[in-house]
Amino acid sequence: MLSGFVLAFREGLEAALIISIVLGVVVKLERRRLIPVVWLGAAGGMILSLLLAGVLFQAGLELEGASEELFEAVTMLLAAGVLTWMVFWMRNESGGLRDRVETTVSQGEGRWQVFLISFLAVLREGVELALFLLAAGFAINSRQVIPGATLGLAAAALTGLLWFRSSNRLSLRRFFQVTNILLLLFAAGLFALGVHALIELRWLPGLIEPLYDLTAILPESSPLGTLLSALFGYRQAPALLEVAAFWGYLVALSAILYRRNQFSTRTGK
């Protein structure tokens, strides 16, 4: 449940913050006639993302055997890749979102631009969330993911409203710096689970199976084991390649982000 909540909250909040930024700019520039356009774009993005999510879930339900395992592997690896892209994108883009939206809205009438910003923000987050929840559902019982996701979306909507009411004084950059740490761990866990699925298919060698066995200490069926499995891809008896995949992915991404931060500090960017 917690993994669904965190993922839905993060994705939903990103969309809610973008929508609140657009609404704030529209009000600031006295273009209130564009407010319905903002909501129309958000509604369109939500409807299309729900349709695409339904297609993804239906595809997963119809597959069986090796095809299902391959679908799980591809979904987890793709979700890990998208999470990683989000971390780098938000690191570069979060600081100047308001300025870019204000520039866009101030150019001419701005109806189409406003619609697209709202539509694409909700659509992107909706499709990403569907992909992440599907991958999380493979790791644990999907019935534990949906309630958490519902609560996460509700919390994201409330937080977005409070952020808008506070005149947008909260720091987007600081928020995404904190949540990006969690996303890196999620991505590493999903990558390791994708590798595990490929090992099950015998597409990859496990090397040493298992590398260790913590069943007696921390079984996956325990509350803590279920939580760690959902959040970080924990397995009680992983193969060597799975462990190497998790830590290799996490260390490599952390090193890249650290070097980029060092470069940004030296150049002032």
Mean pLDDT score, 156-173: 67
| Both structure tokens of 50 | 């729900």
What end-to-end distance do the CA atoms of the chain give, in Å? 39
User: Which residues, 6 or more positions from 113, have their beta carbon under 8 angstroms from its beta carbon?
Assistant: 104, 105, 107
| Both structure tokens of 227 | 């939580």
Q: Which of 58-67, 119-128, 167-176, 232-241 has the highest mean pLDDT?
A: 232-241
| Mean residue pLDDT across the chain | 77
Rounded distance between C-alpha atoms, residue 152 and residue 215, angstroms: 31
Mean pLDDT score, 62-82: 78
Q: Which pLDDT belongs to residue 249? A: 92
Q: Is the pTM of this model over 0.85?
A: no
Q: Which pLDDT belongs to residue 32? A: 78
Number of Cβ within 10 Å of residue 186's Cβ equals 27
pLDDT (tens digit per residue) in 95-123: 555 666 666 666 655 677 778 878 887 88
262: exposed, middle or buried (Cβ count in 10 Å: 0-12, 13-18, 19+) = exposed
